[in-house]
């Protein structure tokens, strides 16, 4: 029985032979492509739940040392540039204000009035400086997984025994849409069923999914669906 079938191109009328199993073909005369048959859809229950392999985002690098492997995520992005100019303007106004207040020996109300603005300026300036200089580190050894941020001090450090890690998953932050900035969290589930937040407010799902897949691969954890995670 022949493995080829003779067809006529509906565009130019040219005749050609193509393999029987081909779902589509390109005419050798006119170059047009035609669908021969649609691929049969898989039954819903048979569809694979495996995720596509996430590519390494530009802001993440991988460092390997004796007995340890480390994911390093750079915080800096272009969004910090306009924020830096805003901080300069905000802080300059406060310096000008307090310079006048102290030089004129102004009443206490003039010194106390901008306290809230001062607090906002200090907090925002510190956040922008962290955005320029900080990095996040996820280090994996035989005994533990550790997450920390620096060089400027920042909260959110986590340490977990590797033997206790059962699964990792990425979640869209509650109340946020996929179009929102800083919408993604990365969690680890331990053997007792508790979820531990490793990273929060990540810019894109690609960053979280890449780290999730790397850690699961290094620890030889089979990726399984988790309630509340990003849709597969």
Q: Span 60-75+134-219: which CATH code?
A: 2.30.29
3-state secondary structure 14-27: CEEEEECCCCEEEC
Specify the pLDDT at position 46.
38
Q: What are the CA-CA distances from residue 130 to residues 75, 136, 205 (Å)? A: 8, 11, 22
For 71-129, the pLDDT digits (tens) are 999 999 999 999 999 999 999 999 999 998 888 888 888 888 889 999 999 999 999 99
CB of 134 closer than 8 Å to CB of 148: no
Q: Kindly give the parts of the chain with pLDDT less than 50.
A: 1-2, 37-48
pTM score: 0.73
Specify the pLDDT at position 135.
98
């Amino acid at each position: 029985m022949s493995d080829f079938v003779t067809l006529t191109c509906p565009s130019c009328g040219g005749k050609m032979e193509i393999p029987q199993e081909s779902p589509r073909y390109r005419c050798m005369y006119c170059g047009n492509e035609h669908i021969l048959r649609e691929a049969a859809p898989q039954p819903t229950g048979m569809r694979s739940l495996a995720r596509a392999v996430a590519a390494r985002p530009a802001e993440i690098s991988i460092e390997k040392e004796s007995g340890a492997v480390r994911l390093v995520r750079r915080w800096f992005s272009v969004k910090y540039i306009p924020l830096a100019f805003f901080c300069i303007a905000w802080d300059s106004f406060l310096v000008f204000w307090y310079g006048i207040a102290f030089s004129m020996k102004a009443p206490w109300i003039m010194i106390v009035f901008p306290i809230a603005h001062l607090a906002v300026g200090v907090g925002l300036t510190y956040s922008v400086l962290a955005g320029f200089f900080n990095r996040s580190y996820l280090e994996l050894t035989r005994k533990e997984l550790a997450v920390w941020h620096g060089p400027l001090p920042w909260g959110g450090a986590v340490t977990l025994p590797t033997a206790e890690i059962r699964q990792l998953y990425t979640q869209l932050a509650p109340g946020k849409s996929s179009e929102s900035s800083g919408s993604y969290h990365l969690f680890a589930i331990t053997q007792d069923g508790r979820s531990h937040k490793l990273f929060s407010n990540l810019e894109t799902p690609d960053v979280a999914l890449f780290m999730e897949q790397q850690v699961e691969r290094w620890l030889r954890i089979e990726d399984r669906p988790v309630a509340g995670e990003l849709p597969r």
